[in-house]
Amino acid sequence: MTTVVENPPRAGRSARRRRTSWLVQTGRILLALLFAGPLLFLFVSSLKPDLQIFADLRSWRAFVPLGHVSFANYSAVFARVPFARFLMNSIGISLVTVALGLLVNSLAAFALARLQWRGKQLVLTGIIATLILPFETLALPLVWWVNKLPWLTMNGFHLQLTTGWLDTYQVQIIPFVANAFSVYLFYQYFTSIPKELDEAARMDGAGWFRIYRNVVMPLSGPAIATVAILTFLPAWNSYLWPLMVVQSEELRPVMLGIQYFFQLNVSWGQVMAYASMITLPVLALFLAFQKAFIGSIASSGVKG
């Protein structure tokens, strides 16, 4: 009679693997709860009156929609501020900034990554060097410059040349179209695409713009998604710049609307409701493009 004896070392390794896997999964759950906690508190508090928000603040009830729960705070938001107007302004400004940013930054990166010309490394170094400058150091000089720039406006059926971009839509878009980090991200991704594809397209009679449009860009989906997200977020969250250059209420983005809730009596439930509504589009955008975003960072963002 043959007796089968289990190999103790192999059984020990299997048990250690299971313990390690359990610890990893537990760590992931704890991290997810840590980062999701503030968002959960935000959305739950937006459904409660102020008194209950403060009453539940030191217990687990702060993260659970229990008690006097309603959508009254959301209704009050629309009564207190022109939220629909602010929302449409932010959507338009963000989408136009993303569209122009994708075009301008990808074209610049294509010229740096695929074309051969003297001084391109120096230009690339200069572009990357601008990343060390915080926006706050450039804000005041930029306000002075945009106030001196000309712009064509419609006067009836005639075009009229005016000076100054203050209190306009273009002052919230054009200064942020070109972005050094977006150029660098596109550049890193474009260098990973084989240049033999360019040579094959050139042999078929394609010019550089056709190679950019039909060869390189269709292969750069993850980089496009990443740049779109990284361009959309600052445009959507912009607060300091619109505060400096926009005076008319009909031109203001959603972030400036938060000021309305800190005048006279502050209602924290309404603040939470307003913050929830301006957070949801960002969450939806990231969830829609998270795979492409992570893939682009992994494949191009960490390259040397």
For residue 103, what pLDDT is reported?
A: 95
Chain-centre distance for alpha carbon 251:
21
Mean pLDDT of 277-285: 86
For residue 261, what pLDDT is reported?
A: 87
Same domain, 69 and 106: no
Same domain, 102 and 41: no
Q: Does pTM surpass 0.95?
A: no
Same domain, 130 and 48: no
Distance from first CA to last CA of the chain, Å, rounded? Answer: 63
| d(C-alpha 85, C-alpha 75), whole Å | 15
For residue 246, what pLDDT is reported?
A: 92
| d(C-alpha 254, C-alpha 90), whole Å | 6
Mean pLDDT of 91-107: 95
From 78, 101, 125, the end of a domain falls on 78
The pLDDT confidence band at residue 301, using thresholds 50, 70 and 90, is: very low
Q: DSSP of the chain, one letter per residue?
A: -------HHHHHHHHHHHHHHHHHHHHHHHHHHHHHHHHHHHHHHTTS-HHHHHHTTTSGGGGS--SS--SHHHHHHHHHS-HHHHHHHHHHHHHHHHHHHHHHHHHHHHHHHH---TTHHHHHHHHHHGGGS-HHHHHHHHHHHHTT-EEEEEETTEEEEEE--TTSSGGGTGGGTS-HHHHHHHHHHHHTS-THHHHHHHHTT--HHHHIIIIIGGG-HHHHHHHHHHHHHHHHH--HHHHHH---GGG--GGGGGGGGGSSS--HHHHHHHHHHHHHHHHHHHHHHHHHHHHHIIIIIT--
Same domain, 124 and 55: no
Same domain, 2 and 129: no
Same domain, 126 and 198: yes
Same domain, 200 and 99: yes
Range of the domain at 288: 81-301
Same domain, 6 and 144: no
CB 50 within 8 A of CB 269: yes
Based on its alpha-carbon atoms, the radius of gyration of the chain, rounded to whole angstroms, reads: 26
From 26, 51, 78, the end of a domain falls on 78
| d(C-alpha 34, C-alpha 105), whole Å | 35
Same domain, 134 and 29: no
| d(C-alpha 242, C-alpha 251), whole Å | 9
For residue 177, what pLDDT is reported?
A: 94
pLDDT tens figures, 31-90: 877 888 888 899 999 999 989 988 888 888 888 888 888 899 999 999 889 999 999 999
CATH assignment at residue 253: 1.10.3720.10
Domain count across the chain = 2
Same domain, 106 and 70: no
pLDDT tens figures, 204-232: 888 889 999 999 999 988 889 889 888 99
Q: Does position 300 have pLDDT exceeding 70, yes or no?
A: no
| d(C-alpha 257, C-alpha 253), whole Å | 7
| d(C-alpha 19, C-alpha 27), whole Å | 12
The pLDDT confidence band at residue 91, using thresholds 50, 70 and 90, is: very high
Q: Does position 160 have pLDDT exceeding 50, yes or no?
A: yes
Q: How would you classify the pairing of strands 150-155 and 158-163? A: antiparallel
From 24, 51, 78, the end of a domain falls on 78
For residue 304, what pLDDT is reported?
A: 42
* Among 53, 8, 300, CA closest to 182: 300
